[in-house]
Chain A
């Protein structure tokens, strides 16, 4: 069935370093790929998204890349800060109502 694999499950980086989180999806009909950040005990918040007609999108320190051939997409955070510490979820959607979420990555930025 449809699934999204997300790696790594935990990631620790030093403040100022970059962090990369990778996802692989199975449904070739997927055409929308959002990333959510969830701080402890809070709701997931959309931080960036990309559609299948675009290969890369940037928003300040955050970027997402998409490789449709390989069915891979990645989140890149540069110049990490302590407030970037959270759980990050990727998702894939074929444009219908459902999102398929990855299992999440717990990012810890060490000061």
Chain B
């Protein structure tokens, strides 16, 4: 579906629990990104990765962790240190530096119960 797949679509987390959101792309893109979307606040960057085994913090990285062991995959873990994790999470990819155009996944809606 559009070359970038996020799963699950809906996720429920209990207090104190870590959860991992999956993001897989088959576009051969070098760069991948995680954004958080809250009502009225647009898209805020959590982490991004330019190449395998390398990633950088975005604007709101606290309470989150990522890995980039394969070019195709960029999973996001929401840890118990993230105090307000309820949000819509979007993964995106792009060809790389000097190339334009994000492709977004369909998103994961995370709710704390």
Residue numbers of A with Cβ under 8 A of B are 6, 9, 32, 34, 36, 41-46, 49, 89, 93, 95-99, 101-104
Name the A residues within 8 Å of B104 (CB-CB). Answer: 36, 43-45
Chain A binding surface SS class: loop
Which residues, 31 to 56 on B, are CB-close (under 8 Å) to A?
Answer: 31, 33, 35, 40-45, 48, 50
A89 lies within 8 A of B43 (CB): yes
A9 and B42 within 8 A (CB): no
Within 8 A of A (CB), among B55-113: 58, 90, 94, 96-98, 100-102, 104-107
Q: How far is the CA of A77 from the CA of B44 in the complex (A)?
A: 26
**Can you name the residue of chain A whose Cβ is closest to the Cβ of B44?**
A101
A104 close to B102 (CB less than 8 A): no
Whole-angstrom distance from the CB of B47 to the nearest CB of chain A? 11
In the assembly, what is the distance between CA of A89 and CA of B104, in Å? 13
Can you list 25 A-B contacts (CB < 8 A)?
A6-B42, A9-B40, A32-B100, A34-B100, A34-B102, A42-B106, A42-B107, A43-B2, A43-B90, A43-B104, A43-B107, A44-B102, A44-B104, A45-B104, A49-B101, A89-B43, A96-B97, A97-B94, A97-B97, A101-B35, A101-B42, A101-B43, A103-B40, A103-B41, A104-B42
- Given the interface contacts A95-B98, A96-B97, does A43 sit within 8 Å of B43 by beta carbon? no
Do B102 and A99 have beta carbons less than 8 Å apart?
yes
Most chain A Cβ neighbours within 10 Å, of B33, B41, B90, B100? B100
